[in-house]
Structure 1
Amino acid sequence: MELGLTGTIIRYAVQTGCVLLMASGLWCSLGNTVKSMFREEQQYRRLEKTVNAKKPEQKSFTAAHIGRLLTAVRKGETTESQVYLFIAVTILIFLFSIFTAIKIFSLIISIAIAATAAAFPYLLLRIRLRNKQIDSSYDADTLVTSLINEYKQHNLSMIKAVENSALAFDAGSSSGRILYRLALALKDYRDEEELDRALEQFVYSYSTEWAALLRANIKMAVLRGTDVSSGLEDILKKLKDIGEQLEAGKRYNNEAVAMIRFLLVPLYLGSIYMAVQTFGFTIKKFLEYQFVNTVGLRTGIITLLLIMTSFVSLKLICKPKYDI
């Protein structure tokens, strides 16, 4: 008994040591990057107090990508501290998950599970962004029509056109926030680089071909004063043509959605019924095998992941983007 207890203690000590060693390796590889991020932010804030003009801060690719993603998903502006907080939470989820999973699974599987769990917040953001992009893409007709009308009414002033087009949407709508943010950027931009960043964020918020075409037209109108009325009208014509094709595809998607929605959960419940009727399981025994037994727990986790994947796929195919 004492040897068994000693062996268990040694085994857990070795596993804990491996995890700590891996955590140390992660900190050695990423710690300097994280510290440099905070150091750069502090230096920038100090510099901002001494100069009047605000200069763009250099960001790492990861921080810039997360910042752009959060800006597209959230209602308000995203600060750098929020970006670093998101990265820190992701690292904590990874460490907590690997400490928990290593008690049940091998080290390699535990790393895979921890990596999946750590990626979950990012995946949720991507799914939410995808949903917003799909919903906002259906504002294309209203947006482009309003932009054309305002552009002509304000003597080919694209900045005024964007500002007034934002009023065509509800204040809390995604397109309203996107246009309002773009209007502020068009008023305050100092050089072509800042203009490009604002227009890239606009396209990223929709991720459609018509948004990319709008970016090109808006840039020419703002930067060079070019009359882009014909270009805007061409975009509107293409959007109206594609609307008929989307209506035809919507009926096919509805059939696929109905099959997944009504068959997925009943099939899983049917497996419980088959276990009880065919193998003589009781509900209690089934739950023990599913959630207490190691093999059953692994199978349950895989099943849950597959169900979640099915529902995510359902959401993505249910409503396609309105794009040309």
Structure 2
Amino acid sequence: MIQTTEEVLRYLVYLLILISGWFVVSPLIKPSYLVAIKYKRYRNLNKSLEYREASYSSNPVLRHISNLLSVTINKRGQYSLSSFFIISLLISFVTAMLLISLHQPWTNVLMVAILLGLSPYVVLRVRLHTIRVDGSYEAEGLTTELSNQYRMNGLNMIEAIDQSIPNLKDFPHSRRALLRLSMAVKEMKNLEELDHIIQEFVFALDTEWSTLLGNNFYMSIGYRDDVSPALQDLIEELKEARRVREADKRENAESFFMVKYAAPCVYIASVLSFLFIFNFTLAKYWEYQFRNPNGFQSFTNFFVLFVISVVIYYLMRKPKNDF
């Protein structure tokens, strides 16, 4: 057991060293990387700016990851994408090396390495969902402020967005989404880029009302249309949706309790049963659980199901405010 613990700790230290090393070295690499990007731009003047290349990529996977990083941790561009993939690969690699040292079958090695390699993405997706749910409850405040500023600033949507941002202190998610929108709109070159910018705004909230609001942005900024009536209609729909939601509000406390507390307790109870009912020593249990292929497979299955349950819990614990 001591040897196994030392192996686990050693590989965890390796992982921390590799990830820490990347964060230490990456600022030294970034200037050279940006110089190469600039040189590439000079060779092709029709290329967009570096941070746009990922956001507006024709590759849906890269565009999705870029939007995910932008919304959840406020990082964007090719450099952030590279860091995300490198960290994910490092986690997979170190996990695989650890399991190989524990003499696990290749099927277990590949499955666990892939699952843990996906953990940064899963964490960001859960954070994205939290942002979307919390941001969805800011709909009325955001839309009302925008509508007021839009009329006060002579139907100038860009100015309305800029003037709304300081007044949205109580609506942090909407404020950040508008701030990203404002910065990007000022550097756009054409309607296609405006469409991508608004898609990222909608991606951050992922609601029907944010889609409608995005359409209003597009028509107002791109074509200078008067969208005041549409904004007022949207506000009324949001008020009606709030009344319906409050009337239909229900609690799912029992299900959430099962996911949050019962599953970990079941696993702890199973460990205690091995120790006190079947007279396993802690060393023997550790050996069975992490060195025996069947024991490790059962642990992996439980861990995967538990993670899935936790993710489902966070996805369902609070419904979106939408219509």
Query: In the superposition, relative to structure 1, how do residues 314 and 102 fare at CA in structure 2: closer, same or farther (>3 Å)?
Result: same
CA contact (8 A) 1:150 1:164 kept: yes
CA distance in 1, matches of 2:169, 2:298: 46
CA contact (8 A) 2:104 2:291 kept: no
**Displacement, 1:114?**
1.9
Q: What stretches of structure 2 of length at least 5 have no aligned partner?
A: 1-31
- What is the count of residue pairs matched by the alignment? 285
CA distance in 1, matches of 2:139, 2:292: 53
Which residue of 23, 38, 45 corresponds with 1:45?
A: 38
The answer for the alignment partner of 2:98 in structure 1 is 100
Q: What stretches of structure 1 of length at least 5 have no aligned partner?
A: 1-38
SS in 1 for 2:192: helix
CA distance in 2, matches of 1:313, 1:271: 23
The residue correspondences of 1:138-177 to structure 2 (distance < 5 A) are 138-170=137-169, 173-177=172-176
**Displacement, 1:74?**
1.5
Of all paired residues, the percent bearing the same amino acid is: 30
CA distance in 2, matches of 1:63, 1:263: 38
CA distance in 2, matches of 1:218, 1:84: 31
Residue-by-residue CA offset, 1:67-123 (whole Å, 9 max, x unaligned): 221111113x42321211222222333333333334533323322222212211111
1:316 paired with 2:315, answer yes
Query: In the superposition, relative to structure 1, how do residues 284 and 101 fare at CA in structure 2: closer, same or farther (>3 Å)?
Result: closer
Which residue of 77, 81, 92 corresponds with 1:83?
A: 81
The residue correspondences of 1:21-36 to structure 2 (distance < 5 A) are none
**Displacement, 1:205?**
0.8
- Structure with greater contact order relative to length (CA < 8 Å, sep ≥ 6): 2
Give the letter aligned to residue 113 of structure 2: A
**Displacement, 1:233?**
1.6
**Displacement, 1:259?**
3.6
Query: In the superposition, relative to structure 1, how do residues 74 and 55 fare at CA in structure 2: closer, same or farther (>3 Å)?
Result: same
Residue-by-residue CA offset, 1:293-320 (whole Å, 9 max, x unaligned): 4432332232222222222211111111
- What is the TM-score with the length of structure 1 in the denominator? 0.76
The answer for the alignment partner of 2:25 in structure 1 is none
Give the letter aligned to residue 235 of structure 1: L
CA contact (8 A) 2:138 2:171 kept: no
Query: In the superposition, relative to structure 1, how do residues 188 and 41 fare at CA in structure 2: closer, same or farther (>3 Å)?
Result: closer
CA contact (8 A) 1:199 1:215 kept: yes
CA distance in 2, matches of 1:284, 1:95: 27
Residue-by-residue CA offset, 1:138-178 (whole Å, 9 max, x unaligned): 11111011111111111211111111221222399222121
CA distance in 1, matches of 2:280, 2:247: 48
Give the letter aligned to residue 201 of structure 2: F
The residue correspondences of 1:276-315 to structure 2 (distance < 5 A) are 278-281=277-280, 285-315=284-314
Give the letter aligned to residue 91 of structure 1: L
The answer for the alignment partner of 1:12 in structure 2 is none
Residue-by-residue CA offset, 1:162-203 (whole Å, 9 max, x unaligned): 112212223992221211121222333221012111101100
Give the letter aligned to residue 55 of structure 1: S
SS in 2 for 1:84: helix
The answer for the alignment partner of 2:234 in structure 1 is 235
CA distance in 2, matches of 1:92, 1:270: 34
CA contact (8 A) 2:135 2:174 kept: yes
CA distance in 2, matches of 1:227, 1:176: 23
The answer for the alignment partner of 1:55 in structure 2 is 48
CA distance in 2, matches of 1:167, 1:211: 20
SS in 2 for 1:320: coil
| Bigger Rg, which one | 1
**Displacement, 1:43?**
5.4
CA distance in 2, matches of 1:111, 1:51: 41
Give the letter aligned to residue 302 of structure 1: N
SS in 1 for 2:164: helix
The answer for the alignment partner of 1:253 in structure 2 is 252
**Displacement, 1:284?**
5.9
CA distance in 1, matches of 2:265, 2:72: 34
CA contact (8 A) 1:171 1:177 kept: no
